[in-house]
Structure 1
Amino acid sequence: MSLARKGQHWGTFARIWHVYDAKWQDPYKSAEIIKHYLLGTYKPIYHPLNNCGDHVVVINSKEIALCGDEWRKRVYFHHTTYHGGATWTLAWELHHKDPTLIVEKAVYRALPKSLLRRHTMQRLHIFPDEKIPEDMLKNISNQIKQLRTVPVQLNHIPRTEVDNFPQLLKYPKNYILK
């Protein structure tokens, strides 16, 4: 086997590290995208019994966005396996306790139910902010595109750009806003 062919063979089976920014993203829609990279379904060698998935690093899980009243109405169930050990936790309470749990539960739910699901979840690394350990940061070679673009906040736009923006009308100097 030639050296180029060996490199191509190695590149096909290598695990790639991807980063996904969850800022202002719906965790359940994001989980469907993350699932494809964790399982490796985009690779030509994919097979349901083949463990060829990649690592995914999710950052900014503290700043996820749920639709509508989901923060108040979505409930997460947990049972301790003891009598009377059933608890239901609202989404905002769970997110306040651990900002990575909602994303983790969404991805776990999106993965197919098989014996490989637990091992697949070990390749998911979730961080509440943008601080990634240095050893993981060295491995990252791809960025997964966000579903929805994060809008720029008005207080982050430079003052010169705001002043140079064309105005539709000019208020008189003695105009009072009510």
Structure 2
Amino acid sequence: MSTFIPSAKSIERRWHVIDAAGRSLGRVASLAAKVLQGKHKPIYTPYIDCGDHVIVVNAAQAVLTGQKEEQKLYRYHSGYEGGLREERAKDLRQRRPSRLMEEAIQGMLPKTTMGKQMYRKLNVYERADHPHVAQKPQSLEVE
């Protein structure tokens, strides 16, 4: 008996909605990363992108536990000498709240070309409304 290996064409992609209001940022991000990779499916294959699309709503209301709001730093570099910039989570939440969720989820995905492909299936919105109603997304609960 041979082992079943799915092909890229045979994978059925679904849409899922995760409500982040009042939930821990890390728990929402880990669930989203798992679904984007396809690890929730029985046909999961590490070298094939078999994940689903994920919509995260109410990203601005996700909670950071402990002192992370004041102490967590997000760093990025302009590419020029001395171009390292740092920003606290509190300031980033005021400026662009959805970026906190995007950074957390992207950090949990593989750092490969396939990881970038998985990241493209992520949609993060600050509020409860989203333009993907036509895709009939299913709701996912965060534990």
TM-score (norm 2): 0.89
Alignment partner, residue 176 of structure 1: none
Q: Extract structure 1 runs of 4+ deviating beyond 3 A.
A: none
Partners of 1:16 and 1:82 in 2: how far apart? Answer: 42
- For structure 1, the 5+ residue unaligned runs are 1-11, 148-178
Q: Alignment RMSD, CA only? A: 1.2
For the 8 Å contact 2:31–2:142, the answer to whether it is kept is: no
Mapped partners of 1:71, 1:84: distance in 2? 26
Aligned with 2:40 (options 39, 42, 59): 42
Larger % of helix: which?
A: 1
Give, in whole Å, the separation in 2 of the partners of 1:101 and 1:76: 10
**Deviation of 1:72 (Å):** 0.5
Q: What are the within-5 Å matches in structure 2 for residues 18-167 of structure 1?
A: 18-133=16-131, 136-147=132-143
| SS of residue paired to 2:138 | strand
Q: Which of structures 1 and 2 has the bigger CA Rg?
A: 1
Verify the 8 A CA contact 2:27 2:142 in the aligned structure 1. no
- Percent identity between matched residues is 28
How many residues in Structure 1 have an aligned counterpart in Structure 2?
A: 134
Q: Output one character per residue of 1:14-38: Cα deviation in whole Å (capped at 9) or x when no partner.
A: 1100000001112122211111110
Structure 2: 5+ residue stretches without partners:
1-9
Task: Look up the equivalent residue of 2:139 and give its one-letter code.
Answer: Q
- TM-superposed deviation, 1:71: 0.6
RCO higher in 1 or 2 (8 Å CA, sep ≥ 6)? 2
